[in-house]
Amino acid sequence: MKPISKLVMTGTKTTSLQNRIQTSYIIIISLMLVAPVISLASSWYHTLKYDQMIANVSKTNRLNQIVRSDISNELWDIVAGNKDFDEGRQYGIIRDINSRLDNIKFSTEQQDNRQLLEVAGRAMDTLSRYVDQLGFQMEQQYPVTANEKTLDEIRGVADLVSDILQDFIVLEIESVARTNEQIKNTAAALSLVQIFVVAAVMLFAVLAQRSLAVSINRPISELEKLSSQIAAGNLAARADLPNVLELDNLTENLNSMAVKIKELIDANIREQKNLQKSEMKALQAQITPHFLYNTLDSIIWLAEGRQYEQVISVTRNFSSFFRRSLSRGKEWVSVKDEFEHVLNYLTIQKIRYRDILDYSIDYDNEMADKTMLKLLLQPLVENALYHGIKNKRGRGRLSVKGWREKPYLCFQVADDGIGLKPERLEDINKQIDGSLDSSELSDVYGLYNVNKRLALYYNSGTKLHIESRYREGTVVTFKLPEIREYV
């Protein structure tokens, strides 16, 4: 439409103004058809998406019933001696479940939902290995108690897969609800926009024929300037009402559009930050289960060895560790609490790795009551232990330090473990700088989590600094701005 407006203002062409306006009418009517076409396309797309989600929920629910009952029942008949292992349908059931999982995953659009099905697939791989183990035991004529124990493991994994599928169903239902809301909102918005466009365009067309030469040149020039400023990113630009009936609404809408665009941009930024926070919480949850299992194992063998005082000590530290991890849902803790959290963690790990682990914790008392984001140090300590000290032959030492350099709080986690080769250090820095999706990370979830949370909660300049030499050790440091004392 912009070139046509210029032709109208200049009047240098031989064709009459009326012909130009008639041409404009044809273009406007054509543009008016875009809204119904978009509406139909949007409705078709959302309907297909809605139907696919409903189908996924139904398929997953049926699959959940198979996982819960068919595998356990089939293997129970085998263990009970009702049929031979080779005569059972267990592998056919597993193949059927995997095939159904792949089918549902292929038709799922949400990345989080697809990742949940991938976790279920890995759990099914574990279940298949347990079934292989059961077959081997029965072939070697293991005792019935051993077979029943393996069967219990299989049931546990099947329950885990069932829980994951149930979580997937919940997520899909939530997606269905959001899609349904989008359909309603889109339909209402398109209807209103289409009605408004029809009314405004028809009014503009009638009045433009009568007063185009007198009253349209200056307002169009002002509106063109306003649209150019908005297109250039100046969302604070506004245009005065031209007191031209057919252009007042257009001017108000452009001014309102500038406000709405800024509001939408701000809302989108907030939404992206919330999504990143959710991603960080998901990553944080991915790195803790092995610690839980190992600690419980340690408590068991300490109890079996009648080392009751150590059982009490580990259990107390274990309870304190998770209490500080949860922090009643708070994101911010005192520096003292963060170091106490690390102390609880290392006290527990010392029981398991007493032959290879020494550690020290030291921080400036002046920073004890300062506020910081929680769970920044423990993932770094865990990384140093599992990727540094454990890979080194012999005893290793891990130190955690904190000091104050106004206006910053400084933290350091150092180990004398195996260290990193230059190319590996470069690869880790690329993985944790946020340029990769979390699903593409290899084994640096802890470092990625801390680095991303530092940038998200403080600012983009706050990040981890890693120094490492192969066979000498690794030092990870970061600085936080002093915020306030923790209350």
**DSSP result, 396-459:** EEEEEEEEEETTEEEEEEEE-SS---HHHHHHHHHHHTT-S-GGG--S-HHHHHHHHHHHHHT-
* Model confidence band, residue 487 (pLDDT cutoffs 50, 70, 90): low
Q: What pLDDT sits at residue 243?
A: 67
- Give dist(CA 258, CA 458) in Å, integer: 30
* pLDDT tens digits along 289-309: 666 767 777 788 778 777 778
Q: One-letter amino acid identity for 320?
A: S
Contact, 390 vs 417, CB < 8 A? Answer: yes
Q: How do beta strands 357-363 and 408-415 pair?
A: unpaired
Question: 388 and 473 in contact (C-beta within 8 Å)?
Answer: yes
Which DSSP state fits 66? I
According to the model, what pLDDT value does residue 477 have?
97
Question: Would you list the domain boundaries of the chain?
Answer: 38-186, 287-481
Q: What mean pLDDT value characterizes the chain?
A: 79
Phi, psi torsion values for 415, nearest 5 degrees: -145, 155
Residue 92, pLDDT above cutoff 80? yes
Q: Above 50 in pLDDT, residue 189?
A: yes
Q: Which two tokens stand for residue 28?
A: 């406007």
Distances (CA, A) of 22 to 204, 214, 365, 463: 12, 19, 81, 61
Question: In Å, what is the CA distance from 34 to each residue of 193, 202, 238, 257, 277?
Answer: 11, 16, 28, 20, 38
pLDDT of residue 281: 59
pLDDT value of position 470: 93
Sequence-distant (6+) residues with CB within 8 A of 325 are 288, 341, 374, 375
Q: Which two tokens stand for residue 363?
A: 């921080």
pLDDT for 440-460, tens place per residue? 566 777 888 888 888 888 876
Going from the C-alpha of 285 to that of each of 165, 292, 325, 410, the distances in angstroms are: 18, 11, 11, 26
Strands 332-334, 473-481: pairing kind: unpaired
**Residue 10 pLDDT greater than 50, yes or no:** no
Higher-confidence residue of 130 and 224: namely: 130
CATH number among 3.30.450.40, 3.90.950.20, 3.30.565.10, 1.10.3720.10, domain 287-481: 3.30.565.10
What angle (nearest 5°) sits at the alpha carbon of residue 244, between those of residues 241 and 246?
Answer: 110
Angle, helices 217-231/245-286, rounded to nearest 10 degrees: 10
Confidence of residue 326 (pLDDT cuts 50, 70, 90): low
Give mean pLDDT, residues 161-188.
82
Alpha carbon 335 to its chain's center: 27
Return the higher-pLDDT residue of 212 and 461: 461
Residue 368 vs residue 250, higher pLDDT: 368
β-sheet bridge partners, residue 271: none
Which residue bears the tokens 């339909």? Answer: 187
Amino acid at 255: N
Give the pLDDT score at 308. 76
Q: What is the pLDDT of residue 476?
A: 97
Mean per-residue pLDDT for 65-85?
Answer: 85
Which CATH number among 3.40.190.10, 1.10.3720.10, 3.40.640.10, 1.20.120.1730 corresponds to the domain 38-186? 1.20.120.1730
> Residue 480: what are its φ and ψ, rounded to 5°?
-120, 140
Where is pLDDT greater, at 54 or 196?
54
**Burial class of residue 258 (count of CB atoms within 10 Å of its CB; 0-12, 13-18, 19+):** buried
Specify the pLDDT at position 9. 38
Helix 245-286 × helix 445-457 angle, to 10°: 140
- 38-186 and 287-481: identical CATH topology: no
Whether 193 shows a pLDDT value over 60: the answer reads yes
pLDDT at 357 (0 to 100): 92
- Model confidence at 360, pLDDT cuts 50, 70, 90, reads very high
**Cα 3 from chain centroid?**
45
Q: Are 226 and 237 in contact (CB under 8 A)?
A: yes
